[in-house]
Amino acid sequence: MPDRDRSFAVGSPTAAAEPRAGWHPEPELIVVRDEDGSRAALREAGAATWEAALDYLYDHALERAMGEPAEYGVLRRRYFGPPGGPGPAPAEPATLAAVLDEFARRIAPHTVSAYHPRSFGYFTPPPLVASLAGEVLAQFAQQGIDVWHAGPIGAFVEEEVVRWLCDLVGYDPASFGILTSGGVMANFIAMALVRDVHARTLLGGAVAPRGRHLEGLRVYASDQAHFSIGRALDELGFPPETLVVVPADEAFRLQGAAVEAAIERDRGRGLRPLAIAAVAGSTNTGSVDATAELSEVARRHGLWLHVDAAYGAAARISSREAWRVPDLELADSVTVDPHKWLFQAYDIGGLMVRDGSALGAAFGGRLPEYYRAGHGPTGSGGDVGRDGDDGHDNGHGEGQLNFWKLGFEGTRRWRALKLWFSWKHLGSTGLARLVEANLDLAGHLVRRIARSDDFEALPAEPDLSVVTFRHLPGGRAAAAGMAPELLDAHQDRLQRALETTGVGWLSTTRLRGATFLRAGVLNTQSVEADVDVLLEQLRELGRDG
């Protein structure tokens, strides 16, 4: 271990600690510059925090899929107590042990558990331990991944991880991307590129279109597209009629012919088709749109093709399963969400763009004074975000990568480190094994449903690891005689009852006007026996109902 210079211009660290933090019962956790005074205390604080996490894991998370009580009103009263709502912020300090104890009493027993082996709710897998390690170190280091000077090595780690994700999509070196809070923000940025890069080119304007210049433009998506596509168009100033919802096929996939027909219809009305927003792994059913067909339609009509592969892109990491999500490399932009099927701790999403210079073209125009060290013009391709069109620095070193030029956010968390840790720890082959195990388990669930008389799945053969199904009380014949609204209500009752037991957790959705249970199988802790127990529990609850 290298010798440390323990001297500081303002005096000795030990002498400085007490006057500044003596008001706290644990000053050594507030002013940490004195290693002799703080290192042992910090080690104990870390051990206590990790022990609290393990207590949560083994005392609660692996015991119940949903905390108790499960009902909103009851839990709200339990948490807030007699006031019924938030009280004032704490005025006086407390020890870390006291705060950890309050976490153990008031919070840990009442969480939804991603770790529980029968937790198949939304896209919320249990995070990998390596991801947690990376997250801790990222937060400890407190790097700001906005301007290069605020997190110099952090920018390189993000650049590396973005390149890995571009490779996953199938893009060449001219591509680039940016990490985001999740798929919603990634889709938002994609629609901003559609407006500020593609629409500007399409309309031949000197500046990106705004206001009335957005009228008459059309963006096409299926009825299975994520809500964030429509929300992004709303917030970006497009008129409400901009989004054209094209019905998906019987397997919930958007096909090229259906979009082509909608385009031709709109062109006949004097409208201007602008983009297609496809999905590869829809939230409802995991369906994968016909990307190659849609790419051909987009190319023929001069449209931008965006694919929301927030969930599905990860299947491409498996050589065995990559066929399920083909042709992403044909899209102009692709949303990828590592906190879904790459098993990362919240939050980390991302947008990958085939022409990486588009990000800087859309977001690099404003130059805050306090970012003046990174004011050079945006590059292109692999040098996107760097100072100098040719990758050179304009006087600021060797060409800086400044992520504030590539998206909405200024200050940004160091999201890349946890995925970097995980990819290093498991490798692509290890991550692929986890994805394959989920697909195998979803296949087991589908086969169990197909062999039964009291469950049915829709679609019968899902594209990925989301299985949407419903319980048929009394069997198929009896359920066929039920009023549709009663059968729908039965699914909702089952979901709530299962949640209350803590034995498992499912969400619900609506498909073709009917209510279905939805199992998102993204759980690294689950085995076939867990699926069997879940189905039997649903049967029992169905009989009790």
pLDDT tens across 434-456, in order? 999 999 999 999 999 999 999 99
**What is the assigned CATH class of domain 419-544?**
alpha beta
Domain extents in the chain:
13-113, 144-414, 419-544
d(CA 339, CA 123): 8
Is residue 350 within 8 Å of 162, Cβ to Cβ?
Answer: yes
Q: pLDDT tens digits for 115-133? A: 999 999 999 999 999 999 9
Q: Locate all alpha helices (DSSP H) within 57-116, ordered by sequence.
A: 72-80, 96-102
Is residue 381 within 8 Å of 408, Cβ to Cβ?
Answer: no
E-strand stretches of 31-141: 119-120
Between residues 298 and 393, the one the model is more confident about: 298
| 93 contacts: CB under 8 Å, gap ≥ 6 | 23, 24, 25
pLDDT at 389: 43
Strand pairing category for 349-353 and 333-336: antiparallel
pLDDT at 392: 30
Q: For residue 387, list its beta bridge partners.
A: 378
Return the C-alpha torsion angle 470, 527, 442, 284, nearest 10. Answer: 60
Count of alpha carbons within 13 angstroms of residue 255, beta-carbon side: 9
In the predicted model, is pLDDT for residue 428 greater than 60? yes
d(CA 426, CA 214): 46
Query: What is the number of residues in the chain?
Result: 545
Q: For residue 278, list its beta bridge partners.
A: 307
Q: pLDDT tens digits for 128-159? A: 999 999 999 999 999 999 999 889 999 999 99
Between residues 70 and 174, the one the model is more confident about: 174
**pTM for the whole thing?**
0.93
DSSP string, 254-281: --HHHHHHHHHHHHHTT-EEEEEEEEBS
| 423 contacts: CB under 8 Å, gap ≥ 6 | 161, 164, 431
Please confirm whether the linkage preceding 69 is cis (ω < 30° from 0). Answer: yes
- Residue carrying the six token digits 């990307």: 291
| Angle (deg, nearest 10), helices 129-141 and 416-450 | 150
pLDDT at 545: 64
Is residue 450 within 8 Å of 476, Cβ to Cβ?
Answer: no
| Angle (deg, nearest 10), helices 528-544 and 416-450 | 60
| Integer CA distances (angstroms), 300 to 245, 264, 289, 409, in order | 20, 12, 18, 34
Q: Which pLDDT band holds residue 369 (cuts at 50, 70, 90)?
A: confident
Q: Which pLDDT band holds residue 390 (cuts at 50, 70, 90)?
A: very low
Q: What is the DSSP code (8-state) at residue 128?
A: P
Element housing 471 (H / E): strand 466-471
- DSSP, collapsed to helix, strand or coil, labels residue 491 as helix
CA 303 from chain centre, in angstroms, equals 26
State the amino acid at position 484 in one-letter form.
Answer: P
Among 374, 370, 382, smallest CA distance to 400 is for 374
pLDDT at 378: 41
Backbone angles phi, psi at 99, to 5 degrees: -70, -40
**What is the assigned CATH class of domain 144-414?**
alpha beta
Is residue 3 within 8 Å of 28, Cβ to Cβ?
Answer: no
- DSSP, collapsed to helix, strand or coil, labels residue 252 as coil
State the amino acid at position 71 in one-letter form.
Answer: E
Q: What is the DSSP code (8-state) at residue 319?
A: T
Q: pLDDT tens digits for 254-305? A: 999 999 999 999 999 999 999 999 999 999 999 999 999 999 999 999 999 9
pLDDT at 19: 63
Average pLDDT, the chain: 92
